[in-house]
Structure 1
Amino acid sequence: MSRLNPGDVLARRYLLLDPLARGGMSVIWRAFDQSLHRMIAVKVLTASLHTDPGERVSVRSEARAAARFIHPDSIEIYDYGETVTTSGGVAAYVVMPLLDGTPLAERIEQGPLPWQEAASIALRLARVLMAGHARGLVHRDVTAENVLLTTSGPKLLDFGIAAWAGDPEDDRGTPPYVAPERLLGAPTHPAVDVYAFGVLLHLMLTGRTPYPETTWEEIEAARRTEPPPRVPGVPNAVATLCQRCLAHRPEDRPAAAEIVSALTSALGTATLGRHVRRGLTVAGSAVLALSALLWFQQSGTPQETMRDPGVAPVAPVAPVVPPSPPSPTARLVERSPASARTVEQAAAEFTTTLEARTPCGATDDDVVLDLKQVLAGLVSTGQAQAHGPSEEVSRTRDLRQKLSDRLREGRLRPACLSELQARLDDIEAAMRRD
C-alpha cells in the first residue's frame, strides 16, 4: 500500500495538504497546484502499482477514457499521473476540482434521508451512470463516500478510475457495495454499478446498508438465498426499484435508464399529489370564505340590524373582479374522473400528452408515430379479448418498454416519459374496470 503524508509533493507540482475522505480504493487529498496556483483535490489510489506493470497500463487507459467523459454531475478530471511514494511504491493519482460540499456519507450519519430527497439524489446519480454506461464505462465504486453534495446538486466522484465494460474483474471496490458476481470473477459489467447503486439507495432511505458484511472475507463467506430486503415506509415504486437493484443475479437488475425512468415517475407522481392536495386546500378555503360572505349578506351585519328604521339602507356596490385563469386544480377537475374514464378516453389523453408542446414537444415525429401505432394495437387488443386481473399490465408492457428504450436512446425527455407513464397507468386502470 502506498503511504502519503501532508507536505508530500506529487510530480513536483501537487502539494498535499490534508486528507478529505477515505474510501475502499483511494484517499482524497486537499492539495495545492504549485504551477497554476489554485486549490485542487487529488485522489490517490491506495494500492501500489509497483509490482504490476499491466495494472499501470489499465489504470492509465481508464483515466484517459474517463477524462473524455463529461457530465454536469460528474467531477471533471484535470490530470492523471503516477508517482513513487516515500515508501517506495508506485501510486496512481487523479487531479480534480476542489468543490465545496459535504460527502453524502456525512449526511447519512445524521440519519436516513426523507424518501424524496434520497430519490432526487439517486436520480441525478443514475443519470450519470446512464451516460457512462452508454459510453461503455463502468464506475465500479458507487458509494456514499464518492458522492459530494454541493450547492448545485450531488456530484459523483471517481469516474477517473472507471473500467471498460467487459474488462477482467479486479479487487477494486468497497465491500458493502460489491455485487455477488464480482466474487466469482465475472467480467466488469454495468450491473455491478446498479447493485452498488441499490446499496446506496437503501443506505440513504434506512441509514444502514442492506447486509451487515463490511469486509471482503465476510462477503465471501456470506451465502445469500433470501430475496433482497425491502425498504419499509416509502412508496411501493421506490421500494421495488431498490429491491430490483439488489437482485442476486445481474440479469435481474434494471438498467440505469430504467432507474432514471422509475425515479422520474415516482418523483413526478409525488409532486402532482402535492399540487392536488394544495389545490384542494385552497379550494376548500375559498368555499368557506364564500359561505361566510353569503351568511353575512343574508343576515346583515350588527350595524345594519341596529340602523334607524326611518333611514333607507344604502345598497352595497359590488366590486368588479376581472376573470382569472383556471387554477391547476380546476384544470385537473376538467379531466374525466379516473373512476369513470374509459379505455378510449385514457388512450386519447395519452395521445394528447404525446402531441403536446409541453413536455413532449421535442419528441421525434417517427417516435410519436411508433408509439401511436403500439397504443392503437394495445387498445384494439383490449377491446377484442377478455382478460384477467394481470393481463392489462402484460399488454401495456411493450409500450412501457418502448418508452424506456426511447429514453435510453435520448429520443424522449424524462418529463415526457413521466407524463406518458401516468397516462398508461390510467389505461391499465380503465382496462381493469371494462
Structure 2
Amino acid sequence: MSRLEPGDVLARRYLLLDPLARGGMSVIWRAFDQSLHRMIAVKVLTASLHTDHGERTNVRSEARAAARFTHPDTIEIYDYGETVTTSGGVAAYVVMPLLDGTPLAERLEQQGPLPWTEAAAIALRLARVLMAGHARGLVHRDVTAENVLLTADGPKLLDFGIAAWAGDPEDDRGTPPYVAPERLLGAATHPAVDVYAFGVLLHFMLTGRTPYPETTWEEIEAARRTDPPPRVPGVPHAIASLCQRCLAHRPRDRPTAAEIVSALTSALGTATLGRHVRRGLTVAGSAAVALSALLWFQQTGLPHPPERAALKPSPTTSSRLLESSPSTAVTVEQAVTDFRTALEAKTPCGATDADVVLDLQQVLRGAVSPHGPSGSGTDNLRQKLSDRWREGRLEPACLSELEARLDDIDSALGGD
C-alpha cells in the first residue's frame, strides 16, 4: 500500500497524527477520533488486502473474533475497518486505546538485555495471554518486541486484532526474525508458531539479540538450519532449556503456552525461595562472625570493641541468631512504613491492582494491631501474598520485595 502521511483521515473519522511504532505487519499511529473527541491508537496493516473478497472476509472475521477476546494484558479493540489507499489497494486498520508506555523493542535497544528474572516475569504475563488466546482457537502470528508495550500496569501484548484462527491457511503476515520454519513451507496456522516467536522474544530479552541473524523473508527462506537452537548463557538451566525448546525446529517439539506458564511460574518461584534462603544465610553468617569475635575478646581479656553493645543469643535463634542493638533496631512502625512504601512504589509493585493493594493494607493492619491474632505475626499476610502470586495478580519481584519487608516486621514484632 502507499505510505500514509500525518493528516490523513481514515473512514472520515480517524485523523492520523504521527507514527508511534513500526513492525513487520503494521504501523501504529497516534490519532484523534473526530467523532468521540478522544486520542486513540490506530494500527494499519502494511500489506494491502487487494480486492480479494475472501481474504477481506477472513480478516474481518479474525478481527471480530479478537475483539471478543478480552484479557487484562491485551489492549481493547474499539473498531476495525478498511480503507482504500491512493494506489487503489484496500488496507485494514484496528483502533485501540492510546496507552502511555514504552515498546519493549525500544527498551531493549536503549538499555540492552534484561535481568533474567525481569525477562521471565514479562514472559510469564505474555504467555498467559497466549494461553488464553490459544484456548479460544486464536493464533497471534506476530509476537515480537515491537508488539509488547511496557506500561505502568505491566506488559501488554498488541495486535490480537489481526489474529487468525488455528487451521487457517498460511499467509505472509509476520516479522521475519520471529517467523517459525514451518511457515516457510505453507503449513496451516497453529499455536506452535506463536510459541516459536515467543522463544525468539525471550532470547532477545535475555541476550539483547535474536537467536538467528536473518532479518528479511529472503534471508530466512535461504537459511538452512540443522544444528540445535542456540542456548542462552548465564541464566538458570530451566530458563535456558525453555527458550531452547520454544525454538525447536519441529512444531511438535515445542511446549504449549500452558506448559510455558507452568515452567516460568516454577522458575520464578524457585528464584524467590532462593533469594530468601541466601538472605537468611547471610544474616546467620554475619551473626556467627560477630558472636565468634565477641567470644574471642572475652577469652583474651581484651576490651570489647568501642561503641558496640554486648551480644547474646536470642531466645528465637531459629529466626534471629543475635539481638540487635537498641540503637540500630528497626521499630514496628518503621517496618510497616517500609512495607507500605514498597507496596505502593512504581517499582517493583506498580502493576499490582488497586483492590489487591487495599486488601493487603487491611491484612497488614490486622497483623500489627494489638487486638490481632496473638502469635500469628505476619502469617496471614504471607499466605495472602502467596495466594495473589499464584493467581497472577502479584509480580514475582514484588512478592520477593514484600516478603523481605515482612521479615523486618516479624523481627520488629519479636523485639518488642
> What is the rounded CA distance, in whole Å, between the counterparts of 1:81 and 1:258 in structure 2?
35
> What is the rounded CA distance, in whole Å, between the counterparts of 2:235 and 2:314 in structure 1?
44
- 8 A contact 1:2–1:91 mirrored in 2: no
Aligned ranges 1:34-433 → 2 under 5 Å: 34-109=34-109, 110-293=111-294, 327=319
> What is the rounded CA distance, in whole Å, between the counterparts of 1:320 and 1:116 in structure 2?
38
Which amino acid in the other structure matches residue 46 of structure 2? T
Quickly say closer, same or farther: Cα 1:300–1:320, change in 2 above 3 A: closer
Which amino acid in the other structure matches residue 6 of structure 1? P
Q: What secondary structure is seen at the aligned counterpart in 2 of 1:96?
A: strand
> What is the rounded CA distance, in whole Å, between the counterparts of 1:79 and 1:10 in structure 2?
12
> What is the rounded CA distance, in whole Å, between the counterparts of 2:245 and 2:11 in structure 1?
44
Quickly say closer, same or farther: Cα 1:152–1:328, change in 2 above 3 A: farther
- 8 A contact 1:261–1:414 mirrored in 2: no
Percent identity reads 87
- 8 A contact 2:67–2:76 mirrored in 1: yes
Q: Which runs of 5+ in 1 are unaligned?
A: 304-317, 330-356, 363-411, 419-434
> What is the rounded CA distance, in whole Å, between the counterparts of 1:247 and 1:360 in structure 2?
36
Quickly say closer, same or farther: Cα 1:290–1:194, change in 2 above 3 A: same
> What is the rounded CA distance, in whole Å, between the counterparts of 1:322 and 1:302 in structure 2?
23
> What is the rounded CA distance, in whole Å, between the counterparts of 2:45 and 2:318 in structure 1?
59
Quickly say closer, same or farther: Cα 1:322–1:231, change in 2 above 3 A: closer
Give the length in aligned residue pairs.
327
Aligned ranges 1:7-18 → 2 under 5 Å: 7-18=7-18
Equivalent residue, structure 2, for 1:404: none
Quickly say closer, same or farther: Cα 1:263–1:14, change in 2 above 3 A: same
> What is the rounded CA distance, in whole Å, between the counterparts of 1:38 and 1:85 in structure 2?
24
What TM-score do the two structures reach when normalised by structure 2? Answer: 0.72
> What is the rounded CA distance, in whole Å, between the counterparts of 2:303 and 2:199 in structure 1?
66
Quickly say closer, same or farther: Cα 1:322–1:241, change in 2 above 3 A: closer
Which amino acid in the other structure matches residue 186 of structure 1? A
Q: What secondary structure is seen at the aligned counterpart in 2 of 1:18?
A: strand
Q: Which runs of 5+ in 2 are unaligned?
A: 305-309, 322-381, 397-416
> What is the rounded CA distance, in whole Å, between the counterparts of 1:225 and 1:18 in structure 2?
43
Report which of the two structures shows the higher radius of gyration computed on alpha carbons. 1
Equivalent residue, structure 1, for 2:405: none
> What is the rounded CA distance, in whole Å, between the counterparts of 1:302 and 1:164 in structure 2?
79
> What is the rounded CA distance, in whole Å, between the counterparts of 2:165 and 2:287 in structure 1?
60
Q: What secondary structure is seen at the aligned counterpart in 2 of 1:148?
A: strand
Quickly say closer, same or farther: Cα 1:70–1:326, change in 2 above 3 A: farther
Deviation track 1:285-310 (CA, whole Å, cap 9, x = no partner) reads 2233444555666777859xxxxxxx
Deviation track 1:85-127 (CA, whole Å, cap 9, x = no partner) reads 3333222111111111111111111322221111111111111
Equivalent residue, structure 1, for 2:354: none
- 8 A contact 1:140–1:162 mirrored in 2: yes
Quickly say closer, same or farther: Cα 1:325–1:184, change in 2 above 3 A: same
